[in-house]
Amino acid sequence: MAPPTRPSRPASSSASVPPPPSGGGCPFLHGLGGELHQLAGENNPVLTTQQGIPVGDDQNTLRLDARGPALLEDFHFREKMFHFDHERIPERVVHARGYGAHGFFELTESLSDITKADIFQRKGEKTPLFVRFSTVAGNKGSPDLARDVRGFAIKFYTKEGNWDLVGNNIPVFFIQDAIKFPDLIHAAKEAPDRAFPQAQTAHDNFWDFISLMPEAVHMALWIMSDRTIPRSLRFMEGFGVHTFRFVNAEGHSTYVKFHLKPKLGLQSVAWNEAVKINGADPDFHRRDLWSALNSGDFPEWEVGVQLFDDAFADAFPFDVLDATKLIPEEDVPVRIVGRLVLTRPVDNFFAETEQVAFCTQNVVPGIDFTNDPLLQGRNFSYLDTQLKRLGGPNFTHIPINAPHVPVQNFQQDGHMAMRNPKGRANYEPNSWGAEGGPREDPQRGHTSFPAQESGEKRRARPEKFADHYSQARQFYLSQTPIEQRHIADAFTFELSKVETPAIRERMVGHLRLVDEALADAVAGGLGLKALPDAPKPARAPINDLPPSAALSIVANGPQRFEGRKLGLLVSDGADAALLSALIEAVDKEGAQLELIAPTVSGITDSKGVSHKAQQRVEGGPSVLYDAVAVLLSADGAALLSQKPEARDFVSDAFAHAKFIAFTKEAEPLLEAAGIKPALQDNGFVRLEKADDAARFLKTCGALRFWEREAKKPA
Ligand code: HDE
């Protein structure tokens, strides 16, 4: 427990923190230990060493007299320091920054005819699970709003053992063959000579690699879209990416792609907002998930499957084994078969989120792999990486990785073995009868689908893999105009950070094969005098694939403000009736509210009622909120108009196309922020009477007033 700091003002009688130790004096002198005891509650347990030995003094090392040398004999000091010195384990080579939570999967439609996987048999049955969300490129301490793919890895603790679905929030991937993964990641992460830039792809190495790998063009469109700057981990989709197999009790196989659709709809932030959020709250996503879980707003996703057979796979213009392609929902609808609900945060971040070890090869009977060359490579890589990260082969003994069913085998020993065979038998076959331990079960056990394979051993890819532009174009044309504009802006931003003109031009050349108008916009943004030549595609693109509405975020918005957050800028003397109407409207909508005030102690409204603030103006910029309301007294507006942070609060909300509610008294602040009455479009709501609060919250359901941004010159 951190000792409380001495308050600079007289402590109020309602203060619940314990008083600081009395008597003053230097805290490093012996004797303080006794006074610190006053800070503890009556029933605090006794501090012990790792050996369980009660500790008498945790403030002073054992030394020869107060000013003498430290003594080697101090086993408590040595043990404490030894353990601290070894607290770190290697961070993940990719997806280092992550956040996990526990929850469950509930089956809403049985798939027993399609798969024998136990988890998909009984409608209404719940299976516990652990999810870890992550960014890919940044190191463990990198900011949450980096432009990056988000990992969406799920460990299902099924009755037939652990099934790991290690997916992303984007349905396709950069590369087709696992052998290119180390190159992709090296190119994306910081350059080895300078160790920057970190957690971003806006640099030469990344775009050099991508522009030389046409297969990455489809994914490049996705990562330059708003998908890579999600507003919340709760508002993004999840995808298994690869084609897997379901196998039923008769041994029949059906291809399957896994989907997760957020119950609260999709939502992303604007790029300029992301940049500012990273400064204002680098932990924005984890804080959001933490607060949602702790306030009982359990995030939920629909779990769906796309099921298809060989006939579909053969007729589909692309190869279903190619992870750079998706199957449009219009071609194979997503059948919703369950729901995934997150219900609680971890008890300990390290023990659970850091030590959780996902492995793509963890599949249960009824689920099997296909020959997707990326998936097959992953099946090697994940097991391999856990050994390095967790230090030995027994990482499955760590509670977060242990299945919720008995583990019975003859594996033994190794570092930190917690689970070893009991009795004499540590091998099989053996002739020790009932004492001889577990045996294989050909009926219940996992059996691989007996796919017929033949052909030459070669380093080659199937012909259909060579189409790199058709689905990139389809994705681009499936976006709303504002999203298309964001894609062009993102390419322009990233390529403007690339110092080598030839790389910029090579990338724009690829974009010409996606959409000439996109290439033109990016070339214009980069100031290119002429459009570079497009490369010769390895396979002629199909240019008339129909747009797929499911690929747009804006088209799939929730049309409600539930789960979102309103930032309410207030001052002393704010209209009491409007304030309570806003509080009520937010609550009714299932949204959250934060009060931002001149000081964090809060304000007193026009009726003399005090309200606590969650943020001080200087620490609560509008980028942290989905919509804002400005409820000020005339004095409050005069005061805040002098503060650049208050002016930015309003002007940023305006620039980020947010809905803004305001009272008449707040107008001077709007004016000071450069928002003249003529600029007050339909994204503004005047708060005059209590009813306006509910009307405003309904308006906020559109999440952003994109028309405002559309009016800005390209
Ligand atoms: Fe991963 N990936 N990956 N990946 N991946 C890892 O495993 C790898 C790929 C994904 O929260 C590593 O435990 C290869 C696709 C997630 O702990 C490593 C290839 C998809 C996570 C690894 C891929 C993913 C990882 C690093 C190309 C989406 C975080 C640490 C063949 C379907 C899991 C670790 C977590 C993590 C290898 C491609 C998703 C090194 C070789 C495609 C969500 O094993």
Mean pLDDT for back-to-back runs of 10 residues, the chain (714 residues): 39 46 44 61 92 97 96 98 98 98 98 98 98 98 98 98 98 98 98 96 98 98 98 98 98 98 97 98 98 97 98 98 98 98 98 98 98 98 97 97 97 95 94 95 96 96 97 98 98 98 98 98 98 97 96 94 98 98 98 98 98 98 98 98 98 98 98 95 96 97 95 79
DSSP 283: T
38 CA distance to ligand 1 centroid (A)?
49
Atom of ligand 1 nearest to the CA of 153: 43
Cα separation, 255 vs 421, in Å, equals: 38
Report yes or no: 674 and 291 within 8 Å, Cβ to Cβ: no
Cα separation, 359 vs 356, in Å, equals: 10
Atom of ligand 1 nearest to the CA of 385: 44
Cα separation, 374 vs 360, in Å, equals: 11
Report yes or no: 286 and 99 within 8 Å, Cβ to Cβ: yes
Rg (CA), the chain: 29
Q: CA 53 → CA 46, 49, 50, 57, 283, distances in Å?
A: 9, 5, 7, 12, 38
> Which pLDDT does position 38 carry in this prediction?
65
Among the CATH numbers 3.30.530.80, 3.30.565.10, 3.90.850.10, 2.40.180.10, which is that of 98-401? Answer: 2.40.180.10
Active site residue 348: no
Cβ of 150 below 6 Å from ligand 1: no
Provide the CATH number for the domain formed by 559-709 in this structure: 3.40.50.880
Which among 95, 242, 486, 510 is annotated as catalytic? 95
> What would the two tokens of residue 250 be?
């008769």
Nearest to 137 by CA among 194, 73, 186, 67: 186
Active site residue 168: yes
Contacts of 496 (CB under 8 A, 6+ apart): 504, 525, 526
Report yes or no: 488 and 522 within 8 Å, Cβ to Cβ: yes
Q: How far is CA 58 from the centre of its chain?
A: 39
Which of 358, 376, 388 maximizes ligand 1 atoms within 8 Å of its Cβ, making it the mutation to test the pocket?
Answer: 358
Atom of ligand 1 nearest to the CA of 166: 43
Q: CA 175 → CA 97, 219, 227, 420, distances in Å?
A: 22, 9, 18, 41
Q: Cα angle vertex 256, ends 255, 260, to 5°? A: 170
Cα separation, 31 vs 168, in Å, equals: 55
Cα separation, 232 vs 289, in Å, equals: 8
> What would the two tokens of residue 678 be?
């003529």
Atom of ligand 1 nearest to the CA of 382: 44
Which of 89, 91, 92, 260 maximizes ligand 1 atoms within 8 Å of its Cβ, making it the mutation to test the pocket?
Answer: 92
Cβ of 132 below 6 Å from ligand 1: yes
- Residue 38: exposed, middle, or buried by beta-carbon count in 10 A (0-12, 13-18, 19+)? exposed
Q: Which fold has domain 468-554?
A: Hemocyanin, N-terminal domain (1.20.1370)
Domain boundaries, the chain: 98-401, 468-554, 559-709
Contacts of 597 (CB under 8 A, 6+ apart): 569, 570, 571, 603, 613, 615, 616, 617
> Which pLDDT does position 27 carry in this prediction?
44
Q: Cα angle vertex 550, ends 546, 552, to 5°? A: 95
- Shortest-distance Cα residue to atom 24 of ligand 1: 167
Q: CA 146 → CA 271, 282, 604, 625, distances in Å?
A: 10, 9, 38, 18
Cα separation, 631 vs 664, in Å, equals: 9
Which among 168, 169, 362, 401 is annotated as catalytic? 168
> Which pLDDT does position 17 carry in this prediction?
52
Report yes or no: 594 and 567 within 8 Å, Cβ to Cβ: yes
> What would the two tokens of residue 451 be?
């796919």
Contacts of 510 (CB under 8 A, 6+ apart): 211, 214, 217, 220, 469, 534, 535
Q: Provide the β-strand partners of residue 167.
A: 152
Q: Is 506 annotated as a binding residue?
A: no
Q: Provide the β-strand partners of residue 105.
A: 127, 340
> What would the two tokens of residue 243 be?
């084609």
Q: CA 687 → CA 401, 426, 670, distances in Å?
A: 53, 75, 14
Between β-strands 615-616 and 627-631, what pairing exists: parallel, antiparallel or unpaired? unpaired
Which of 237, 382, 395 maximizes ligand 1 atoms within 8 Å of its Cβ, making it the mutation to test the pocket?
Answer: 382
Cβ of 583 below 6 Å from ligand 1: no
DSSP 54: B
Q: Is 378 annotated as a binding residue?
A: yes
End-to-end, the C-alpha distance of the chain in Å comes to: 53
Cβ of 400 below 6 Å from ligand 1: no
Cβ of 374 below 6 Å from ligand 1: yes
Cβ of 531 below 6 Å from ligand 1: no
> Which pLDDT does position 711 carry in this prediction?
86
- E-assigned strands of 287-327? 300-308
Cβ of 166 below 6 Å from ligand 1: yes
> What is the enclosing helix (H) or strand (E) of 592?
strand 592-597
Report yes or no: 568 and 627 within 8 Å, Cβ to Cβ: no
> What would the two tokens of residue 271 be?
């790029």
Cβ of 377 below 6 Å from ligand 1: yes
Single-letter amino acid code for the residue at 437: G
Single-letter amino acid code for the residue at 322: D
Cα separation, 636 vs 662, in Å, equals: 13
Largest Cα–Cα distance of the chain, in whole Å?
A: 90
